[in-house]
Structure formats: structure tokens, C-alpha cells
Structure 1
Amino acid sequence: MEPFKNLINAGTVAHAGQHLQRAWTGFDRPRFEALANQGLDALELKARMLQLANAMRATLPDDFNSACTVLEASLAPALPLDAPGEPVGLSNAQMSTGLAGWVIWSMGEFVARHGQHDVPRALTCLHALTQRSTAEFAIRPFIQQQPDAVWPVLARWANDPSAHVRRLVSEGSRPRLPWGLRLQALVADPTPALPLLRALQDDPSSYVRRSVANHLNDIAKDHPGLVAGWVRDHLIETTPERRALLRHASRSLIKQGHAPTLAAWGLASGLQGRVGLSLSATSASVGESLGLSVTLQSTSHQPQPLEIDYAVHHVRANGGTSPKVFKGWKLTLAAGETRTLDKRHSLKPVTTRTLYPGLHRMELRVNGVALAEAAFDLSR
């Protein structure tokens, strides 16, 4: 798989230079490209993005309003949405007319760094940028430093015609956005964002609704009771779309076996019956996969809704272990039914987790309760 960092490359720089010069004839394109390309291949993704933003600072007009006008004039058409509300890419012909995609991250960084003295103008620019990629990272310093100026704008944007802008309202204000500045005030108290999430949870775009679900899942990490109550209250007379959103928002709490959340979904009762877990092997190597076989036997006279996950207690570099919960199955076990479930668990390395050799314990959780376990020895 091509590393993300390679998506900001010399071609990206040349494309940006071309359209910034088209937008402003006074733009010093050679200087911009020289600054942006300096040692670019040796840099990681964020450092590449910052280098392009610094090159823009050195070559765009000193006046912030004028600089934003240049950025806006350099843009391609807004990214279209497909029928369910997911973003789709621009054609080569559309891209040839202006900027979109990864370079927008650098443009947003420029606005975030140099627009704190003129929040209304900065937000107007981010409104345009987010429709060509996303401004979810760039808006966060404004929420952190100028909340009284930003929240009323986000409230208006919750009704914006563009689904990209409506998504920014939710995604940009997530307390714990991956790769983004952590908004500690919202980690402590998410109240300012709740009216926005309430307004957006029934948005016609699945792109927006998924962001709302992820935002609620963020909140659940620090305020599980709030999200459990939200799910309980908003499941009443709900639509299939909202139900799916609330289910996705509940995913971490369900994995953790959070009792109020399980109760909201009708999963408060433990399994009435027996369960067994076996693995296809007692040893495996990094890069392979391991088979899981689960046997469920009901002793109940009623159907049982079950949420079945499994936790792998990964060995850490210091020799200890830490659990990671993986989704398994969601099913209804009929009265007196016996059922066998099979699954493969990948042991391929991923960027967010290093696999270390040693004895790994696997724990099966049914409706949040650990009921069976097995172990395997992992080697390199």
C-alpha cells in the first residue's frame, strides 16, 4: 500500500503552484515550489503538509484577507456527493481547473496559523476549503482559542446546503479526533456540541450521520453515561437510519460491556446456556491468521439477542499485556438452539499496533460478559 505521505509530492507542489499563480498573477511560483520541495522526500506526512503551509506563508499576500481570496480563487469545484451522501473524487478535467484533495490540508493549516485575528474571514475560507477535502483539523484551533466566535457559526452551518460543511460541524468539533488537536475543554464537558449533534443525527447524508456517530463514540470515552442516556432517549420511535447511527455510536460501550448501553439495546441479560471457544492452532506467526470456532447452546425457552465480541490480550514491549476488542457476531439465538460460529483473526501487522511474540490470551465476550477463553503462542 502506498504510504499516505507520498500523496504530498513534487507533483502536488507543482499543481498547487500552477493554480495559486492562476489565482494571483503576482504569486512567486518558483520560490513557492523551491521552498515546498526542499527535502520533501525525506519528510513524513505531517511535516510535508507543514512545509507546504510555510511555503504559502512566504509567497501569498501578507494581508490575511487577500491571501484567503487567493486560496479561494485557486480551488477546484466542490467535491460532489453520490446518492447515499458519500464524497466522490473529481475527474481529471475538474482537477485541472483548480485545487482539491491533500493540498487542502496545507491550505487549512495556513488559515489556522494566521487567521486567529480575523475569525469570520478565516471561517469563510474554511467553509470553501472543506468542500474540496476537509477542514476538520484546521477549525480546531479556532474552537479551542475562540469558542464564543465559532459556536454560533457552527450552529448556522448545521443547516448549510453542503453536506461537506454540515459534516465539518460534527467532525471538526469531535473531542478526540484522530490526528487532530485534542479539544480538552470538550473532553471535560461536551455540552456545547450536543445541540449540533442533535440537529445533525437525522441528516439526509450518511457522510454526516457517520461523523455524528463517531463524535458520540468519542464522548463515550469520557462520559459513558451521557451517551448511554442519549442512545436510550433517541431510540424511541426512531428511523432505521438513526438506529444505525446510534448503534455505531454505541460500539465502544458495547465492547466494554457497559451495562446501561447494553440495556438500551436489549442486551442486558447474560447468555442462558453454554458457550465454548476453540482456536485452529495453539501457535502462529506474525503475518498469519488464526481460526476461531464458537459454540453456543441455549437453555432458554425464549429467543436471546446476543452481541458476541472477542478480546485479544496482546503482549506489549515491556512483557505485560493489553486487551484489544474485535467485533464478532450479532445474532438472535433461538430457544434451545445450538449454533457454531467461525471466523479468521488476522495477525498481520498494522500501523496502529505492533505485534510482539509471546503467549496471547483470547477472551470471548457475550453481551459484555467474558464467558470463555483460549490462548495461542505468537512468534515472529
Structure 2
Amino acid sequence: MGAMDELIGPEVVDRLRSAVRSVEPALELSELSDVRASLEGRRLRDRVDLVRDAMLADLPGGFPAARQVVEGVLSVPDFEGWMIWPVTEVVAARALEDGSTAAFDGGLDVLALLTTRLSSEFAIRDMLLARPERALGIIRGWTGHENEHVRRLASEGTRAFLPWAKRVPWLVAHPDATQGILDALHRDPAVYVRRSVANHLNDLSRIDPALVTTTARGWAADPSADTPWVIRHGLRTLIKKADPDALALVGFSGDRLRVDRPQVQETFVRLHEDALTFTARVTNDDDEDATVAIDYSIGFQRFNGTVSPKTFKLASRRLRPGESVTVSKTHSFRRITTRTYYPGPHVVTVQANGVRSEAAHFTVIDPSAVDPSAER
């Protein structure tokens, strides 16, 4: 079990129980006490659910009572950190159980308070699932909030593909619904908020690329010093896909590029030991200068025998008419935590502003299972 899973453990639950009882001493909180023994061996998401359900069982019924407890415990200095995640979900659950508009709006108000201690971005998804248009109407108002954490929640909580979070199909079906939020925050003074805006924009590029490039073009027409970074980060997926509008927005040009097949130094790469080194030549066949984004893609072998490509940045170059440049890269196949490598046939390609080379082939072998010299 990883360290992330242990962020909510028995000692955190003890501190949460102590914080609540310091403002509501009449509450026994027996379920919260008992749940401590159930956390061992659980994933973080499961721990959040267990603590949330224990609190729901312990707190008095109804949203007003839960709101009173939560707003009271905000005054306790020890009420901080990861213990707040399950509390945000208690607030959302009680607000939705109530069913009234007053409780719904009040629930969002409390989530905005809690997000200044730890992000309410996961709990807010339940509110968006229940009443997306009502929720967005309130969330848009947060873009002018004095606290950067609340402003960031407006962008982060409404992302189409927020990591770890529940999907909100309505947001995917209405990609322009958060336009006002992004327009209000893309020049935010806090980098924390601007990064969320860029990630939000990148999410939307998977749904509506034209909307994303139109949005970025509008921002570029009246930029701040930070706008180029926000646009580039927000368009990163479209840039890898060589979307022509996205490339133009970040300054890449060149319509007649030629990319030769990569030359690989190794036909066989030993799993977890070696690296793939390759070179490729890019030529500008146009009669005008070209500013070129050069990327490479490796088709990785998956556990089921299929090949899954992954694109990586390689270089940026400015080429005169007729000029060529040779780029090189070494890609390690040593063990990493973010990707599992499998033996088998692989391919590598290089692209320049989306113009892709022919594929070069190589094989990843498991040195514990085969002698590389026997394959040559």
C-alpha cells in the first residue's frame, strides 16, 4: 500500500473526532471512533468513503445541523489537512439529501469555506451531477472571490476530466458551459489558479478542439505576461496532435516539412536495463522559414499484446528554406513508477508540426527470459 493511501489513517480520524467534539461535546461520535479499525489495507478513496459514512451516522440529521457542526469546527486550529476531504463529502451528501434549493446553495457555500483548508473539488462533483446549471451559476460567482483557493475551485472542480473524480456527463455534453469561468480566471494573479485554467482548457481539447483554439485566440488578442504559458499548457494535447490552429497560436509554422525515418542504434533493448537511442532528420522544403515543433512517439507493447503510442516532446527548431536538422534522443526503458514496460515489438516515429515519419522498429526483450545474442 502506498503512502497516499495512508493520508487518512487512525491518527487523522482521532484528530478529526477531537476537533468535532471540541465544538460539539454532546456528540459521542462512536461510529467515527469505530471506523479507525476498518482503515488498514484500504485504498485512499475507500478510506474517505468509510470516514464520510461514519460521520453521516454520527451527526444529527438534516443539512442545517450538519452545517452548524462543520462551520463550528472551522474555528478549530487542528481541523486541517486530509481529514477535511471526507467532511466535504458529508456536506454534499446532506445538502443533496435535503433536496431543497436552499440546502443546495448552502452546501456550495460551505464547500467554498472548506476549500480554503483542503480542496472541495471532489465533493463538488456530486453537486454538479445533481443540478449542473444551478451549481455553475453559483460557481461562476467564485471567480471574483478574494481567496485564491476558492477561485481555483471554480476552475478545477468543473473540469471535464478531473483526475480521481467522478465524471459529470453534463459537462462533457456542454463543453462551453464553463467558458465564463475560464475567461474570468485565465489572467488570475495566482499561478495556482492559472495552472488549473490551463488544465481545464486541455481537458476541453479532448471534446471540442475548435472551441479551445477559439478561446485561446481570444486570450492571445489581449494577453498578460502569463497568457502565452497558459495557452501553451492548455493546448499541449492539441499541439502533440499537430492541430494546425493550435500550432499557429503558439508560434509554429511550416507547411512543407519532411521527416526521415528514425535511425535506431539498438535493434534490441533490454527491459529495465537499456535505453533506445535514435536520430532523425527534419527538412524544410518550403521557400519560407519554418518554426518547427519536433516530437517523437513510441508505440509501447501492452500486457494484452496490443501497441499503445505515447508522444513526447523532443525539440523546437527554426529552419531556413531548404535547411535540414538532425535531432537525437535517448529514451530509457529502466523501471519507473509511472509506466510498466512489456517485452515485444515496439516502434518509434518522429513528427514535425504533425508531419510524421515512417516507423522504425525495435524489440524490447526481457534479459531474464532470453539471451539477446540468440536473437541477433
Q: TM-score, normalised by structure 1?
A: 0.86
Which residue is equivalent to 1:321? 307
- Tell me, in whole angstroms, the C-alpha distance in 2 between the residues paired with 1:226 and 1:340: 35
Q: Which stretch of structure 1 is more off in the superposition, 171-180 or 340-349?
A: 340-349
Which residue is equivalent to 2:374? none
The change in CA–CA distance for 1:349 and 1:50 in structure 2 (over 3 A counts) is farther
Alignment: residue pair count: 360
Choose the corresponding residue for 1:361, options 347, 354, 363. Answer: 347
1:249 partnered with 2:229: no
User: What amino acid does structure 2 have at the position aligned with 1:292?
Assistant: T
> Is the contact made by 1:154 and 1:169 (CA closer than 8 Å) also made in structure 2?
yes
1:159-192 deviation digits (Å, cap 9, x = unpaired): 0001100011011111111111111112111222
Q: Which stretch of structure 1 is more off in the superposition, 141-150 or 178-187?
A: 141-150
SS of corresponding position for 2:262? strand
The change in CA–CA distance for 1:228 and 1:148 in structure 2 (over 3 A counts) is closer
> Is the contact made by 1:64 and 1:115 (CA closer than 8 Å) also made in structure 2?
yes
- Tell me, in whole angstroms, the C-alpha distance in 1 between the residues paired with 2:130 and 2:337: 32
> Is the contact made by 1:163 and 1:208 (CA closer than 8 Å) also made in structure 2?
yes
Which residue is equivalent to 1:191? 176
1:349 is displaced (CA, Å) by 5.4
Q: Which stretch of structure 1 is more off in the superposition, 150-159 or 274-283?
A: 274-283
Higher alpha-carbon Rg? 2
Which residue is equivalent to 2:61? 62
Choose the corresponding residue for 2:192, options 196, 204, 207. Answer: 207
> Is the contact made by 1:19 and 1:99 (CA closer than 8 Å) also made in structure 2?
yes
SS of corresponding position for 1:38? helix
Query: Aligned runs of 1:238-277 on 2, under 5 Å?
Result: 238-270=223-255, 272=257, 275=260, 277=262
- Tell me, in whole angstroms, the C-alpha distance in 1 between the residues paired with 2:68 and 2:362: 60
- Tell me, in whole angstroms, the C-alpha distance in 2 between the residues paired with 1:293 and 1:15: 55
Which residue is equivalent to 1:373? 359
Gaps of 5+ in 1: 78-96
User: What amino acid does structure 2 have at the position aligned with 1:129?
Assistant: L
- Tell me, in whole angstroms, the C-alpha distance in 2 between the residues paired with 1:330 and 1:24: 60
Which residue is equivalent to 1:73? 72
Which residue is equivalent to 1:82? none
- Tell me, in whole angstroms, the C-alpha distance in 1 between the residues paired with 2:31 and 2:55: 10
- Tell me, in whole angstroms, the C-alpha distance in 1 between the residues paired with 2:155 and 2:88: 17
- Tell me, in whole angstroms, the C-alpha distance in 2 between the residues paired with 1:364 and 1:274: 7
SS of corresponding position for 2:149? helix
Q: Which stretch of structure 1 is more off in the superposition, 269-278 or 136-145?
A: 269-278
1:76 is displaced (CA, Å) by 7.0
Counting aligned pairs with the same residue, the percent is: 32
SS of corresponding position for 2:298? strand
1:52-99 deviation digits (Å, cap 9, x = unpaired): 11111122222322222322333478xxxxxxxxxxxxxxxxxxx222
Which residue is equivalent to 1:12? 12
What's the Cα RMSD here?
2.5
1:102 partnered with 2:82: yes
SS of corresponding position for 1:57? helix
> Is the contact made by 1:315 and 1:356 (CA closer than 8 Å) also made in structure 2?
yes
Which residue is equivalent to 1:312? 298
The change in CA–CA distance for 1:189 and 1:289 in structure 2 (over 3 A counts) is farther
Q: Which stretch of structure 1 is more off in the superposition, 272-281 or 191-200?
A: 272-281
SS of corresponding position for 2:162? coil
- Tell me, in whole angstroms, the C-alpha distance in 1 between the residues paired with 2:19 and 2:75: 9
Which residue is equivalent to 2:91? 111
1:194 is displaced (CA, Å) by 0.5
- Tell me, in whole angstroms, the C-alpha distance in 1 between the residues paired with 2:69 and 2:332: 48
Q: TM-score, normalised by structure 2?
A: 0.87
The change in CA–CA distance for 1:371 and 1:119 in structure 2 (over 3 A counts) is same
Gaps of 5+ in 2: 367-376
Which residue is equivalent to 1:345? 331
> Is the contact made by 1:294 and 1:342 (CA closer than 8 Å) also made in structure 2?
yes
